[in-house]
Structure 1
Amino acid sequence: MRCLLTSHGSTGDIYPVIRLGRALVEAGHTVRFATVSLFREEIESAGIEYVYLPPDWDQTGFAEAMRDLTKAKNPVDLIRIIYSESLPFLEEILTTLDRELEWADVFVSSYVFSSLCQLAKKRGIPTAITTFAHNAVPSRSYPPEGVPRMLAFPPFLRRRWNAMIWRMADRIFCWKINQVVGEALTRYGMERADSFLLEPADKVIVTVSPELFRPKHLWTERFKFTGHLRWQSPEDPALNAELDVFCGGETVPILTFGSVTFDEARKVMTRFMRNWPMGKKIIIQSGWAGLTIERPRREMKCIGRVSHDQLFQYGSMVIHHGGAGTTASVLHAGIPQIIIPHIGDQWFFAGEVKRLGVGLEVKRAKWPEELPKAVRSVEKNRKMPKRAAKVAKLLAREDGPGNAVRELEGLLSAVRA
């Protein structure tokens, strides 16, 4: 099977697809991954053939784009900003993917750019999309996130309400996408977006735990919950020695915002340092926001890029933004988490973490002031670490990469049958 993969965005959008590609290679398939050059080294180190797509930004360029995304007013506005950022490069992206599809048997895209699946459909190539957040998975059992559930209605009326709202949401997203890139798609001989949520591809691979997150009733059978796809940054053996000395045999809170960036990061960190208790240890990962410690304190250790699995073994808890990848890594680590949402589905994951009883949420506006109290609350909670450990044990039994490969193999077999 020859698989063409594509995804666009930050680390959280790319790493799960690298893991999928690696699993496909291990299963004996040939894989090409078309994306920006920032991730070329990671892709090729996984044994996957890299295909260049614009923009040719470095991390600073993507960090600026992420700052723009944090200003989105709602999910529809977020999609508008994402597609507007892609518009100057869209024709080259379409041309490159169209050329690569001459080679491919299966095409896999991220759900944000599911419109790209039209290129494969024109050639009769089966399509799949990956989604790392299950709030985009429709069901007649619940409405889209943020819409009232109408619990006072009888069940049959609730199902009708939910279905109507999902169809309406699908039309709204397509309208916004077409407003931004519809003319560009038409010029390239493609149809405008006609289904973003309900029928975005032949198969939708939902890369979260089916045990923890799959609803009882799905919109259609095209939605498949496989389990998490986790790819790790390279480990740094020298860092272990540093952290061993710093932690002194104890676990400590870890603060990381991953690839999220925000305005006035220096001022935010100044507020954080003003409020963090003297003498209490914490590890701070600088991330794309460039978090820094302006006045060194013995109880604060600042580090750079490193594997989540390597870092989180030193954590008593992880304080983070609520990205899909980071949330999954903390769940697998089996420790509590404090989520400070900044963008998109991060509020949703904060809600899921609270639902599972493995963490809590702190509001973004005053997190430097409110974080110490939240940390004390987690430290006093005896049930939370036990629940987190139980979740990690459950996740260890799931095979997300293997399940995703089998779904793609089955997709191609069904088409060929």
Structure 2
Amino acid sequence: MKIAIITSGSRGDVAPYTGLGSRLRAAGHDVVIATQEAFADAVREAGCEFRRIPGDTRALLGSERGQEWQQRSTGLIGGIRTNIQMGMRLLEEMGEGVLAAAEGADVLLLQRVALWHGYLVAKARGIPGMALELFPSVPTADFALPSLDIRFLGRWGNRNIPRLVAGATSRIKTPMDGPIREFQRQLGLPPSGLAAIRLEMNRDEHWPIYHGYSPAVVPRPADWRPGVEAVGYWWPPSRPDWQPPKELVDFLESGPAPVFIGFGSMTGSRGRQLAETVSAALRQAGVRAVVQAGWADLATTGDDVISIGDTPHEWLFPQMAAVVHHAGAGTTGAALRAGVPAIPLPALGDQPFWADRLVRLGVSPGWTPMKNLSAGRLAALIQEAVTDRSYRRRAEALAGRIHAEDGSARVIEALERLRPGLRDDT
């Protein structure tokens, strides 16, 4: 079976799918991963065929506009506005890339950014498919949708406000609908718009929606329809030939377990300011640290600090006293799998949801938005995380449950149940 995985965004939006792709190949499938050019090597290293999706997320987040999005993206209004503005940029680029990625495919597996176009291609061409989400995407009474960046709207509001908003916007044209309506016409489908497509996907019993995080971290809500599942993480492929730099090994062996500091694909041009805050916090906390540069080119100095580049989380995190991160879905999962306390500093999107979840799970002493970060606040959180052993005990217990799961196997099993064709009753 030829399977096309279509994803776009930052490294955290791609790495889980390269791991899933390698597992699908091991199960005997021919796998294409379509994503941005920056991740072509990662796709090929996973043994999958690379196809290009337009766009450059690093350049987008590092631009002046991207910095504005990260600064104002929290709260209901800020979250919605950021989703709209970033979504417009992505929608303008996605259609042709999805069409090319789907060429010759028997099944489409779609990450969020590719979901609308991919669903339409699947419908128009009768190709089975499913959504593969990295954070909860279907309304439930249990919690507010992470994309809204609101902690709680009440059980009725959590479940119904997103549907009411989607229902209202599905009956009117919005600026975001233009590219998708044109794409529908191109495919010979009646134009409807983004909100209507999302409502259809959420209701379509022939369209599975699988979430690649542990149900021990976010239990599956009882009010989700059949076919909407939380199946466990899709881990990036292991790198058996990778060897840690001697300098890093020597540092780890030279003293007590350090704290990891890294913000992945976040912060863009704010690296220098953030580095100054982090350096001051480390001095106040009196801890050793491993600092990962990431897209911000984060760099700190000191006798008890080492700066590193790309290093597998599965090797590094278990050796840490705590992990300070941006609360992206992938890094959150990696820290939980390692069984270490976490200190989340979210910037945008679903990150505040994961930050709040880590505190609720009892594996984090607290969180603060990255834009509000101070050295004193970060130092206090680090000290509490590394001195109060209850955080590590709870993290280790949760890690045991996560290790027992196999999210990729659940997707492989689901592929056997997909029907050869989708409804087209819009």
Give the TM-score range, shorter chain.
0.7 to 0.9
Identity %: 24
Residue of structure 2 equivalent to 1:24: 24
Residue 323 (str. 1) matches residue 328 (str. 2): yes
Contact 2:290 2:305 in 1 (8 A): yes
Question: What is the identity, as a one-letter code, of the residue corresponding to 1:24?
Answer: L
Q: Residue 414 of structure 1: CA displacement? A: 8.8
Q: SS of the residue aligned with 1:357?
A: coil
Contact 2:10 2:57 in 1 (8 A): no
* Alignment match of 1:387 (pick from 394, 413, 421): 394
Residue of structure 1 equivalent to 2:10: 10
Summarize the Cα distance change of 1:310–1:240 in structure 2 as closer, same or farther, 3 Å threshold. Answer: farther
Q: SS of the residue aligned with 1:32?
A: strand
Residue of structure 2 equivalent to 1:281: 288
Residue of structure 2 equivalent to 1:209: 214
Distance 2:407 2:214 in 1: 8
Q: Residue 167 of structure 1: CA displacement? A: 1.2
Q: Residue 362 of structure 1: CA displacement? A: 3.1
Residue of structure 2 equivalent to 1:85: 89
Q: Deviations over 1:306-365 (max 9, x none)?
A: 111122132000001111000000000001011111111111111111111111333231
Q: Deviations over 1:126-146 (max 9, x none)?
A: 221111112x23224555463
Residue of structure 2 equivalent to 1:167: 163
Distance 1:268 1:102 in 2: 44
Distance 1:175 1:50 in 2: 38
Residue of structure 2 equivalent to 1:248: 254
Summarize the Cα distance change of 1:207–1:246 in structure 2 as closer, same or farther, 3 Å threshold. Answer: closer
Give the superposed CA RMSD: 2.8
Contact 1:337 1:359 in 2 (8 A): yes
Summarize the Cα distance change of 1:253–1:147 in structure 2 as closer, same or farther, 3 Å threshold. Answer: closer
Distance 1:261 1:184 in 2: 29
Q: Could you list the runs of 5+ residues in structure 1 that have no partner in the other structure?
A: 151-157
Q: Residue 378 of structure 1: CA displacement? A: 1.4
Residue 124 (str. 1) matches residue 126 (str. 2): yes
Question: What is the identity, as a one-letter code, of the residue corresponding to 2:355?
Answer: A
Residue 266 (str. 1) matches residue 275 (str. 2): no
Residue of structure 1 equivalent to 2:135: 133
Q: SS of the residue aligned with 1:410?
A: coil
Question: What is the identity, as a one-letter code, of the residue corresponding to 2:10?
Answer: S
Summarize the Cα distance change of 1:338–1:120 in structure 2 as closer, same or farther, 3 Å threshold. Answer: same
Residue of structure 2 equivalent to 1:334: 339
Residue of structure 2 equivalent to 1:154: none
Residue of structure 2 equivalent to 1:187: 182
Residue of structure 1 equivalent to 2:312: 307
Q: Deviations over 1:152-173 (max 9, x none)?
A: xxxxxx55x5543231243467
Q: Residue 401 of structure 1: CA displacement? A: 0.9
Q: Deviations over 1:69-95 (max 9, x none)?
A: 414353322221222222542xxx423
Question: What is the identity, as a one-letter code, of the residue corresponding to 1:401?
Answer: S
Residue of structure 2 equivalent to 1:411: 418
Contact 1:336 1:385 in 2 (8 A): yes
Residue of structure 2 equivalent to 1:344: 349
TM value normalised by structure 1: 0.87
Summarize the Cα distance change of 1:67–1:220 in structure 2 as closer, same or farther, 3 Å threshold. Answer: same
Summarize the Cα distance change of 1:43–1:275 in structure 2 as closer, same or farther, 3 Å threshold. Answer: closer
TM value normalised by structure 2: 0.85
Distance 1:371 1:379 in 2: 12
Distance 2:254 2:267 in 1: 31
Q: Deviations over 1:261-307 (max 9, x none)?
A: 255321232233234327631111111111112xx311111111111
Q: SS of the residue aligned with 2:198?
A: coil
* Alignment match of 1:225 (pick from 223, 230, 236): 230
Summarize the Cα distance change of 1:169–1:207 in structure 2 as closer, same or farther, 3 Å threshold. Answer: farther
Residue 371 (str. 1) matches residue 378 (str. 2): yes
Distance 2:169 2:12 in 1: 22
Q: SS of the residue aligned with 2:33?
A: strand
